[in-house]
Structures are given as structure tokens and as C-alpha cells.
Amino acid sequence: MAKTILCPYCLHEIPQALARQGKKCTACKREFPGRYLKDYQREPNVVISVVGFSGHGKTTYLASLMWLLQKKLGRYWGSAKRRFIYDPLRADEDFKIMEDHINDLDQSILPEPTQWSTFPKPTVHRLLQIPYLSNWRMIICDTGGEAFNDLKRFGQRASFVQRSSTVLFLVSLPHLKGLDPGLEMGKLLKNYRDGMEGMGADTKKQKLLVVYTLGDALIKNGWLQKYPEISDYIGTGEAKKLDATGMVHYLDGLRKISTELETFTLKKVRADHFFSIGKDEFKDLTFCICSSLGAPPSTEEFIINGKKRSKLTQKINPRRVIDPLLWIIDNACTERNPLKERIEKPIRRL
Ligand SMILES: Nc1nc2c(ncn2[C@@H]2O[C@H](COP(=O)(O)OP(=O)(O)OP(=O)(O)O)[C@@H](O)[C@H]2O)c(=O)[nH]1
Ligand SMILES: [Mg+2]
Ligand SMILES: [Zn+2]
């Protein structure tokens, strides 16, 4: 049994006895979310921080991912006897912000730009009976573009970014129109690396997973003209109706697309500097691509609660938004279990 409890907010390991006694973190003083302590021993953690330029689709991505987990995958994954279960730990106000985003998206309303005051804190989600990949607890936070500008000023959130095992680096190439996208990506990653170094943290302990967002716009704007495998991949949709065998095939597909995207990054985006920092200075560098909405949003605006909001003309239709999560969990499974065991026992029991 683990002797410590990982605080989901600052990611410090807290001695179990102290955590259970005070029901809050001795480092950041925040109370643990409901049931967190009770359920703690049941699943291993995967910790993900989402970073990227402002406006590149971080909040929409997270809302779309949660929408999919909450509304769809329980019906699609597993068998009648062993369905996938999504169990978020609804803590307090923090979770409410996320739920508002999910409910908005369900009604085709897009999130507003994230303000500092409404920045969601890390949230905790139990993911149970994932075909082939078993049970995990995801701790995830939209850490925002600020992480790149001044990590130190970032206070509590800096601790989360520093200690996350995986950084999801969201990039929207259409938003870098008119700039040199390769150069901008390189600058941003260098800032991040320097910020981490400045705090005495080591990027070599972190996995870097690049997620190209707005896949629909990349197809529409001709970015993927010479990369039909990638545009077909986005076009063919989400990880539906997967059982254990289906998941093994799906994960193979992810690896292939990551390799294609590596070529795309070097040849089309020309992000050589970015690529070399990612390869040399992080534990691992891999790539995904997705479309959180499935189609470009309309520019039509309307007023809700006195605020201008944009609305989609159709229902959201997420494409490949689950991929980063599956990558991370698959990697974490491989780290925990020898490869041999996974082949012999593809389905892990609860
Ligand atoms: N075409 C298309 N546009 C998208 C998609 N996802 C997000 N967008 C657009 O990108 C805009 C910005 O998305 P946000 O999720 O607010 O970006 P953010 O990174 O959270 O931005 P900040 O909170 O301001 O840092 C949205 O309002 C949409 O217009 C997508 O899948 N397809
Ligand atoms: Mg945002
Ligand atoms: Zn803490």
C-alpha cells in the first residue's frame, strides 16, 4: 500500500497518515476532493498538464474530451458485461467550471476565452474498465499559456506543471497564420524549458505530447494536402465501439499517425528547432492530431446572461480527441507492466 498520497492540486506527495487526518494537503493546504482519499488506493494516477498558446483550443479540447467521456464512451467501449465507466470526482467550484463547459458544448455553445479568475484548477477523473487498458485515475489541468511566459509567477499552478509526468502541448497551426509556425513553436517550447530550468525542474522527467488542434481547419486550409493518411485519420472519426482487441489495433494506429505527424512537423511545419528540443530535452516526444468540434464554428454570435457567445450551427462531433489520453495511459501501462504480461493477459481485471 502506498505510504503517501499525491495531492491532485500541487502534486506533492503527502504522508498518508497526515493526509487522512487533516483531509487536506499539508503543502498547498487545499482540501482533497470528495472521495479522493477513500478511493485513492484503487487506481494508479496519470497526471497531465495542458499547455499552449492562448486561443489555441485548450479549453475546447478539455471540454470536448470530458463531453465524450461523459456522454458517449460508456455506450461504446467494452462489452455488455464490462462497460467503460467514467467517474469524475465532483469536488467543488472547480469542477463546476468544467461541467459548465461540457453542458455548453452539449448545446453547441463554445467556451469563452479563459480569464485568470475563472481558470479551472486540476480535476480528478476515474476511468474504469477501459478495454485492454484497465483502470486509471486522471488528474488533469488546463494550465494555460501563462505557463510559458512566467512559470514562477504562476504560483500553485507552477507546481502542477513542474511535477506533471506528461505535458500536452496544444498547437493550432491555423492560429499561427502569417507567422513562421515552426519558429513560434520553437520559441514557446524554449520558454517553457527555460521556465522549468529556472525553477530547478527537469524536463527530462516529462513526456511531451504534441496535439495539433483544429484538425478540421487543417484539412480545409490545405495543410494536409500531401498527408492523406493524416487527413483520412481525422475524417474517419472517434474511437467507437472498442473492445480489447479493437483497442490494441487502435493503439497501433496511434503509433503510425505519430510517425506521420513527426514527418509533417519537420517537412511541412518546419519546426526543426522545436523538434530537437522536444527530442533531446524531454523524456519522450510523440504527436497526435484532433478536432475538438469536428467542424469549423460559425461566426454567429448571440447573447447569454448578458455576454456575447458563439454557437455552432451543428452538434459537436469530436474527432480523435481521445487519442492523447489513450497514448498516455498505454505508455503508463507499459511502464508498470512488463510487455510480456500485456501480451499474455490483454484484459486486466478490476
Ligand atoms: N475549427 C475549429 N475551431 C476550434 C476547435 N476548437 C477550438 N476552436 C476555436 O478556437 C477558439 C479558441 O478555443 P479555446 O478553447 O477558447 O482556446 P484556449 O486555448 O482555451 O484559449 P485561452 O483560454 O484564451 O488561452 C474557439 O473559440 C474556437 O473558435 C476545433 O476543433 N475546430
Ligand atoms: Mg481557455
Ligand atoms: Zn497540495
User: Do 212 and 261 touch, CB atoms closer than 8 A?
Assistant: yes
Per residue in 284-323, pLDDT tens? 999 999 999 998 887 677 777 777 777 888 889 999 999 9
- Does any ligand 1 atom lie closer than 6 A to the CB of residue 101? no
Q: Please give the distance, rounded to the nearest whole angstrom, from the Cα atom of residue 160 to the centre of ligand 2.
A: 17
**Torsional class of 82: left (φ above 0), alpha (ψ -120 to 50), beta (otherwise):** beta
- Does any ligand 1 atom lie closer than 6 A to the CB of residue 292? yes
Indicate the Cα dihedral angle 155, 156, 159, 161, nearest 10°: -90
Within-domain flag for 123: yes
Helix ranges (DSSP H) in the chain? 16-22, 36-39, 58-71, 73-76, 93-106, 146-149, 156-163, 181-198, 215-220, 228-235, 244-267, 272-281, 323-336, 339-344
**142-161 exposure pattern, b = at least 16 Cβ within 10 A, e = fewer:** bbbbbbbeebeebeebbbbb
Query: Residues with beta carbon < 5 A to ion ligand 2?
Result: 58-59, 114
Ligand that lies nearest to the alpha carbon of residue 144, given by its number in the listed order: 1
Ligand that lies nearest to the alpha carbon of residue 18, given by its number in the listed order: 3
C-alpha 86/C-alpha 126 separation (Å) is 6
Within-domain flag for 109: yes
- Does any ligand 1 atom lie closer than 6 A to the CB of residue 214? yes
End-to-end CA distance of the chain: 17
Q: Please give the distance, rounded to the nearest whole angstrom, from the Cα atom of residue 8 to the centre of ligand 3.
A: 7
Task: Find residue 287's DSSP bridge partners.
Answer: 210
Within-domain flag for 324: yes
Within-domain flag for 89: yes
Q: Is it the case that residue 102 has pLDDT exceeding 80?
A: yes
Average pLDDT, the chain: 86
Q: Which of 130-144, 155-169, 211-225, 285-299 has the highest mean pLDDT?
A: 211-225
- Give me the number of domains the chain comprises: 1
Residue 158 main-chain phi, psi, to 5 deg: -65, -35
Contacts of 300 (CB under 8 A, 6+ apart): 310, 311, 313
Q: Is it the case that residue 91 has pLDDT exceeding 70?
A: no
Within-domain flag for 199: yes
Per residue in 158-180, pLDDT tens? 778 888 899 999 999 999 988 99
Domain extent, residue 294, equals 43-348
Within-domain flag for 38: no
Could you tell me the CATH number of the domain that includes residue 96?
Answer: 3.40.50.300
Within-domain flag for 27: no
Q: Is it the case that residue 208 has pLDDT exceeding 80?
A: yes
Q: Please give the distance, rounded to the nearest whole angstrom, from the Cα atom of residue 2 to the centre of ligand 1.
A: 39
Within-domain flag for 32: no
pLDDT of residue 275: 97
Lowest mean pLDDT among 103-107, 146-150, 253-257, 321-325: 146-150
Q: Is it the case that residue 210 has pLDDT exceeding 60?
A: yes
pLDDT of residue 47: 93
